[in-house]
Structure 1
Amino acid sequence: MWWIICTLPVVLALRDIEPPAPSPVTRNTPVEGWLTARLNQFDASNTETFQMRYLYNDEFANSSNIVIFVGGEWAISSGWVTGGLAYELADMLQAGLFYTEHRYYGQTRPTNETSVPDLRYLNVDQALGDLAQFIQHVQSDSFDNGRYRKGRVALVGCSYAGSMATWMRLAHPHLVTAALSDSGPLHAQEDFPEYLEVITEALRAQGSEACVSSIEAAMRSVTDMLNTTTEVDRVGRLFNTCGALQASSPLDLATFFWFGITETFASLVQYAKPGDIATACSRITNSSISSDPVERLAAWITSQPSTQPCIESRYSTQVAAHTNTSYDSPQATMRLWTYQTCVEYGWYQTTTSSRQPFLSAVPLEYFHQMCADFFPNLFDTELLRSGVARTNNMFAGLSHLPDHVISVSGGHDPWSPMAPNATHATPLAPVYVVPGVSHCRAIRPTNNSETEELEATKHKILSQMYALMTDARAAAHHLVLSPVLLVWFVFSLVV
C-alpha cells in the first residue's frame, strides 16, 4: 500500500535555506538597501508597493558593470557578496555587486501575513518583474549618483534562483547581458521520481553497493514491522518519533518516512561535501554497530541534525505548523515555497521508480493532500497541472535555452534531471555537467572545489562570463594581471 513507505517532500526539493555561504575574503561591509517595489508588476493601475531588501558591495565598483547574485526561497545574508564566484566575477569586471531578496522571503514582505488571498502575488512572474525594476533602479541616475547608468548586467543564481537567472535573460534580454545558472531546474514536472534515482546513484558511487542494499533491507524490515502491531512501537523508539507512531494512519506513516528517512538522505546527497556520503554509508553498513540493518539505519538517521530533537510523524501537527500564516512562524519559509510548487512547479519526488531502495511508492495524491491542507479552498489538481503546463509554456522548459546563459549542474545533483545537459547546449548557451558533485557547487569560490574538473569549470565560467560582459574587448589586457586566469580564458575559447 502507498502509505507504508513514503518519500521526500518539497522541503528538500529546493532547499528552504540560503545555500551555505563561502568564507568572506574581504573586510568590506555590504550595505543593506531597500527598493520600493510594485506589488503587482503587471497592472499599472495598482499603485500598491512593498519594500524589497537587497545587499550592495561596491568594493570593486570602478566601472558601470553590475553583478547580481539572485536570491531564491530564503533570507539573504552577506556571505554571497563577500566571497564566491559572483564576488570573483565582480572583481574581474570591476563591477558593483548586489544580492536581491525574493518577494515574500526573508524580510521582504509584501503583505501582512501569508494567508491564501495574500499569496496571490507570490509567483516567479512577479519576482522577475521585481528584478527588472531593481535593475532599472540601479541603472538610473537616482542610484549612487548614476554610477551604473546604463551598465551591463550579469546575473548569478543557484537552484531556483538559477532558474530565475535563465528566465530573466529570456524574459528581459534588454536588461540582462549574461547569466549563470548553477543547478537551476528549468522543466516543471508534477511527478519527479528521478530525484531519488540520482540519490541512489550517488550513494552507490560515493558509498557502495552494500550501502544501497542495506538501506533497502532495512526498509523492507520496517515495512514488515509496521504491519505487526507489537512492532510498531519499536519502530517509533528506534527512530525517536515525537509521538507514538499511528500505523493505522496513512498520512502519519507517510509523514514519518518523509521527515524521518527520505528527507535525511536528500539532505546528505543534495549538499554533500567530500567524504560525507562515504562516511554515512560506512555507518549504515557497519555490522559492529548492529547485525540488524534497521538498527544501523535508525542509528544514523537519529544522529543527523535534520531529525533533532525528534521525528515529527503526526500529520495533523505538520498541517497546523504549515497553516500558520505569520511570516515569523518556524515553518513560514516552507509554507511559502510549498505554495509555489502547488501552483507553478510540482516537482514531487515520488518513489514510483524501482531504481531506488526506498521501496513502495508515494503517490501524487499524498502531495495533493498536502497542498489541499496547507492551502484550503484554493488547491485542486487541475490548478497544479495547469500551473506546471503554464510554467513550461512561458519559459520553454528544456526545449530552448536563451543565449548568453551558462548552465552548470553536478552529475550527482538530484535536480540534474530537470536541468539542462549537453544535449540542450548551443554555441551561445553552453552547458556543463560536472561528474561526482551535487547541488550549487559551481557558485562557490575557485580554489575550493571537490574535483579538478569542477575547479576547471569554474575558471571556464568566469572567463566566458567576462567575455560575454565585455564582448571580449580588452580581455587580454585585463587578464594579463592574472596569468592563471589568462590561461583559463584562452583555454575556454578553444575547448
Structure 2
Amino acid sequence: MIGGEGTANPLWMVTGTWIEYAKEFKALCLMLEHRYYGKSHPTEDTSVENLQYLSSEQALADLASFRNYMVEKMGLTDNKWITFGGSYPGSLSAWFRLKYPHLVAGAVATSGPLLAELDFVEYVEVVRDSLATTGPECTKNIQEATESVKQMLKTQEGVKDLSKLFKLCSPLDVNVANDVANFWSTISGNFMGVVQYNKDNREFEGAVGTNITLDVLCSMMNDISMPLVDRYAAVNSLMMKTYEQKCLDISYTAMIKELRETSWESAASEGGRQWIYQTCTEFGFYQTSDSPNQPFGDGFPLSFSLQQCSDIYGPQFNQSTLMEGIKRTNTNYGALKIAGTKIVFPNGSIDPWHALGITKDPEGTDLHAIYIKGTAHCANMYPARFGDPPELQQARETIKGYIQNWLSQ
C-alpha cells in the first residue's frame, strides 16, 4: 500500500479490500508512508529550500528503494509484488508500475488523477452532475442561493447578515478580495467534500460526517420552508457542527500565516503545506469556479489559487513556473496516454477526480478501466458492507481477477 498526502494509517494494515485479497492470495502486506508526511521527516523543517526534495519522482524512488530493501531483508527474491493506492497514491501506483516494471507485477490505481491540469474546472462540473442525481431542483436552488448571496454582498446590511448567517469569526470585509474568495471557496467546498466522499465506508478510519451525503445536502437545499440563503447557511452550520468549529474563519491572511509555518510541530506540517507545495510545483489540480456550467458562481477563480502559491512559498512560485512543472509531469508519466501495462484504474462516477483519470479501456493495451456507477472517491478500497451497490461488489471481484492473472504469469 502506497502512502500519500497524510499520515499513514496503521488501520489499513488490518482493514480494507486489499487485506481480503491478501488473505485469498496468501500475501504479505507492506505499507510505505510518503516522504514529508506523517512521521517521515527527511529534513529539519519544511522550509522552501528543504521542500525541493518533495516530489512524486522522489516518492517513486523511495518505493523502489523500500521494495528492494524488503526483498533483501525478508528473503522475498521470488515473490511478486502488487501495488495499491487511492487518490494521489493511486497515481503513484500506476506510475510506479510504469517507471519500475521490473519491480512490480501489477498495479491497482484507484481514483488516481493521471492528467496534471492547472485549472481543474471539471471538478465542480462533476459535483454539479453528482448533485443532479437527486433531481433537478438541488443544483437550481444552489445556483439561486449563490445569486442571492452575490446580491447581499453588494450592501452593507447584506454583508452584515451574511457574516451572522454563516457564523464568520469576524465580519466579512468586501474590500479584501482574498477574504471574499475564501468565503466563496469555503461555502462551495461544503458541497464538494461531501460529494467526493459520498457514502464511502470511511468510519473505520475515524472519519466524521460520513452520514452526511449529497442526498442530505440536497434535501436541505430543497427545503421550501426556508429562504434560499438560509438553506445555504444551514448546510454550512451542519458542516461546522460536524467538524466542531465554533466560527468560520475566512481570513486569507490568517490562512497564509499558518501555511507559512515551517516547523514539523506546526498545524501546516500535518500535510497542508506539503501538499499545496506539490500542487504549486507538479500538478495544479485547482478546483476553481472558472467554468460557467456550475451552480457555485465565479467567486474562487484560478488567480486565487495561484496567489496562494506565491504568498506561501515566494514569488518564484507562479503560473509560469507551475505550467512548466505540469508540462514536465505530463511528459514524464504520459498523462491519459500512459504507456504502462498490467494496471487497473477503478474510478467512481460520483467522484469529481474521475475527470482526470482513465474511465474507458485504452485500445490495444494491457490497461484496464473500471468505471463504477454511483460510487465516489476510492470506494472499492474501503471495507465491504451490507448494502454496497452491485456495481461496487462486481468491481472488487474484477480487480481480484486482474490480480490473480498478474500473479499467475
**TM-score of the pair, normalised by structure 2:** 0.93
Q: Which one of 274, 278, 292 corresponds to residue 215 of structure 2?
A: 278
Mapped partners of 1:372, 1:324: distance in 2: 15
- Helix, strand or coil at the partner of 1:97: coil
Residue 14 of structure 2 is aligned to residue 82 of structure 1 = yes
Mapped partners of 1:190, 1:448: distance in 2: 39
Mapped partners of 2:29, 2:387: distance in 1: 23
Aligned ranges 1:352-367 → 2 under 5 Å: 352-360=290-298, 362-367=300-305
Give the aligned partner of residue 130 of structure 1.
62
Shift of 1:394: 0.2
- Say if 1:446 and 1:458, in contact at 8 Å, map to a contact too: no
Deviations 1:78-100 (A, max 9, x none): 22110212111211221110111
Give the aligned partner of residue 266 of structure 2.
329
Shift of 1:448: 5.5
- Say if 1:92 and 1:466, in contact at 8 Å, map to a contact too: no
Aligned ranges 1:62-81 → 2 under 5 Å: 69-81=1-13
Moved more, 406-415 or 348-357: 348-357
Shift of 1:400: 2.5
Give the aligned partner of residue 47 of structure 2.
115
Mapped partners of 1:94, 1:225: distance in 2: 61
Deviations 1:46-70 (A, max 9, x none): xxxxxxxxxxxxxxxxxxxxxxx11
Give the aligned partner of residue 366 of structure 2.
428
Aligned ranges 1:63-462 → 2 under 5 Å: 69-140=1-72, 143-144=73-74, 146=75, 148-205=76-133, 207-259=134-186, 261-273=187-199, 276-288=213-225, 290=226, 292-304=227-239, 305-306=242-243, 308-332=245-269, 333-360=271-298, 362-422=300-360, 424=362, 426-447=364-385, 450-462=388-400
Mapped partners of 2:381, 2:32: distance in 1: 16
Residue 402 of structure 2 is aligned to residue 464 of structure 1 = yes
Moved more, 360-369 or 337-346: 360-369
Mapped partners of 1:283, 1:307: distance in 2: 20
Instruction: Tell me which amino acid in the other structure corresponds to 2:98.
Output: L
- Helix, strand or coil at the partner of 2:345: strand
Shift of 1:430: 0.9
Where in structure 1 are there 5+ consecutive unaligned residues? 1-68, 472-495
Shift of 1:362: 3.2
- Helix, strand or coil at the partner of 2:232: helix
Shift of 1:425: 5.5
Shift of 1:309: 2.5
Mapped partners of 1:136, 1:108: distance in 2: 19
Instruction: Tell me which amino acid in the other structure corresponds to 1:369.
Output: Q
- Say if 2:124 and 2:289, in contact at 8 Å, map to a contact too: yes
Mapped partners of 2:37, 2:5: distance in 1: 6
- Helix, strand or coil at the partner of 2:30: strand
Mapped partners of 1:184, 1:307: distance in 2: 30
Shift of 1:73: 0.4
Shift of 1:258: 1.6
Q: Which has the higher contact order (CA 8 A, sep 6+)?
A: 2
- Say if 1:401 and 1:425, in contact at 8 Å, map to a contact too: no
Shift of 1:427: 4.9
- Say if 2:361 and 2:368, in contact at 8 Å, map to a contact too: no
Deviations 1:263-314 (A, max 9, x none): 11111100111771112211121123x1x10011101211113582222111
Could you say if the C-alpha distance between residues 425 and 115 of structure 1 is closer, same or farther in structure 2, counting changes exceeding 3 Å? farther
Instruction: Tell me which amino acid in the other structure corresponds to 1:464.
Output: Y
Shift of 1:445: 2.9
Shift of 1:447: 4.6
- Helix, strand or coil at the partner of 2:381: coil
Instruction: Tell me which amino acid in the other structure corresponds to 1:338.
Output: I
Mapped partners of 1:99, 1:302: distance in 2: 37
Instruction: Tell me which amino acid in the other structure corresponds to 2:43.
Output: T
Mapped partners of 1:165, 1:286: distance in 2: 43
Could you say if the C-alpha distance between residues 396 and 114 of structure 1 is closer, same or farther in structure 2, counting changes exceeding 3 Å? same
Deviations 1:16-45 (A, max 9, x none): xxxxxxxxxxxxxxxxxxxxxxxxxxxxxx
Please identify which structure carries the higher strand content. 1
Mapped partners of 1:461, 1:309: distance in 2: 43
Deviations 1:405-447 (A, max 9, x none): 0111001110011000215355511101111111010112345
- Helix, strand or coil at the partner of 2:234: helix
Instruction: Kindly report structure 1 stretches of 4+ aligned residues shifted beyond 4 Å.
Output: none
Percent identity (aligned): 32
Mapped partners of 2:46, 2:191: distance in 1: 30
Deviations 1:454-487 (A, max 9, x none): 101101111211221122xxxxxxxxxxxxxxxx
User: Which structure has the greater CA radius of gyration?
Assistant: 1
- Say if 2:259 and 2:273, in contact at 8 Å, map to a contact too: yes
Mapped partners of 1:297, 1:156: distance in 2: 38
**TM-score of the pair, normalised by structure 1:** 0.77
Instruction: Tell me which amino acid in the other structure corresponds to 2:195.
Output: V
Shift of 1:377: 4.5
Mapped partners of 1:70, 1:131: distance in 2: 8
- Say if 2:85 and 2:109, in contact at 8 Å, map to a contact too: yes
